[in-house]
Amino acid sequence: MSLPFITFSRNVFIPLTNICRNKCGYCGFRRMIGEPEAKLLSPTEVMDTLKRGALAGCTEALFTFGERPHEVEGFMPLLMELGYDSIIDYLVELCRLSIRLGLLPHSNPGILEAWELKKLKPYNASMGLMLETVGIIDAHEGCAGKDPELRIRTIRTAGELGIPFTTGILVGIGETWEDRVRSIHAIREIHEEFGHIQEVIIQNFIPKHGTKMASCPSPGLNEMKKTVSMARQILPGDVAIQVAPNLIGPKELIRCGASDLGGISPRTIDYINPESPWPNIMELQAMVDLPLRERLPVYPQYIKRKWYSKEIAQLIHSLSDAEGFRKPY
């Protein structure tokens, strides 16, 4: 379904920890225990970011971190210094803090078990996990969490639990065209069963210095246009296609079927792609032909269906208009 506007959300990006069990060939975010940049954010650091976001009119707190960091030797002592013995329990407390400060949490912590999703569900407006690809690629060698079946299982479990969900594919990480098509079909099949996938990100690979894929080229605009067009043809009309305006010019991709520009932060950088700054809202509008419309981290159709918990109901009501988009402020 074509809309007369392009959507985005205003968020703060909170990289809770960059310690991760995976060693993806394209990732510049991951750090090892003992490296100077290895980090687990404290509650005070998170609170500071949330407060700055609230003052800037943000409605979303994007919590993301390395997958299952507690499986990495040396991580648990860092967590226990903060008074927690579970990264999920720590995330729940930070989501509660976010809600108190007026921002709706959207957590993207990687592969999760059903009990972890159940624990996080009441305190998240939506959640996410990139499928990335159903293909078996060299960049994922030795990465337990990049088994496509495990990622599909998490996405399906989120559907069983009725969690509005974001997923997507990475383009240019060594997958074939057939892998991309199969990945989009897999997402469609899950959504047709559970109806919970609100958006699919089509994200172009950006090479990172110091990684195995540092010398690999990014996919060109024509390749991205072809991929967005394919995804739009396959996905149901109620699933938005999102592209990242700090990674690629969105205008021609919108003409191919993209309708959302994701989270734009006025207060934090893109910690996954720190070399690519966010545009401000005026710059964002200049990048597209249609008017912008701000949404919450949960899409309007799920607000109308009341796919949210009592823990966040009051905040959703205070932030959303009659159509389920961001209320003017």
Neighbours of 206 (CB within 10 A): 20
Tell me: the pLDDT tens digits for 196-245?
999 999 999 999 999 999 999 999 999 999 999 999 999 999 999 999 99
Rounded Cα–Cα distance for residues 171 and 39 (Å) = 28
Assess if residue 324 is contained within a domain: no
Grouping H, G, I as helix, E, B as strand and the rest as coil, residue 261 is strand
- pLDDT recorded at residue 1: 55
Grouping H, G, I as helix, E, B as strand and the rest as coil, residue 170 is strand
Assess if residue 135 is contained within a domain: yes
Rounded Cα–Cα distance for residues 309 and 115 (Å) = 17
Assess if residue 269 is contained within a domain: yes
| Host domain of residue 143 | 6-319
Which residues in the chain show pLDDT less than 50? Answer: none
Assess if residue 328 is contained within a domain: no
Q: Does 20 belong to an annotated binding site? A: yes
Tell me: the pLDDT tens digits for 60-104?
999 999 999 999 999 999 999 999 999 999 999 999 999 999 999
Rounded Cα–Cα distance for residues 327 and 253 (Å) = 27
- pLDDT recorded at residue 329: 76
Assess if residue 126 is contained within a domain: yes
- pLDDT recorded at residue 158: 98
- pLDDT recorded at residue 134: 98
Assess if residue 270 is contained within a domain: yes
Rounded Cα–Cα distance for residues 294 and 297 (Å) = 10
Grouping H, G, I as helix, E, B as strand and the rest as coil, residue 299 is coil
Number of domains into which the chain is organized? 1
- pLDDT recorded at residue 3: 77
Assess if residue 327 is contained within a domain: no
- CATH number, domain containing residue 299: 3.20.20.70
Q: Does 24 belong to an annotated binding site? A: yes
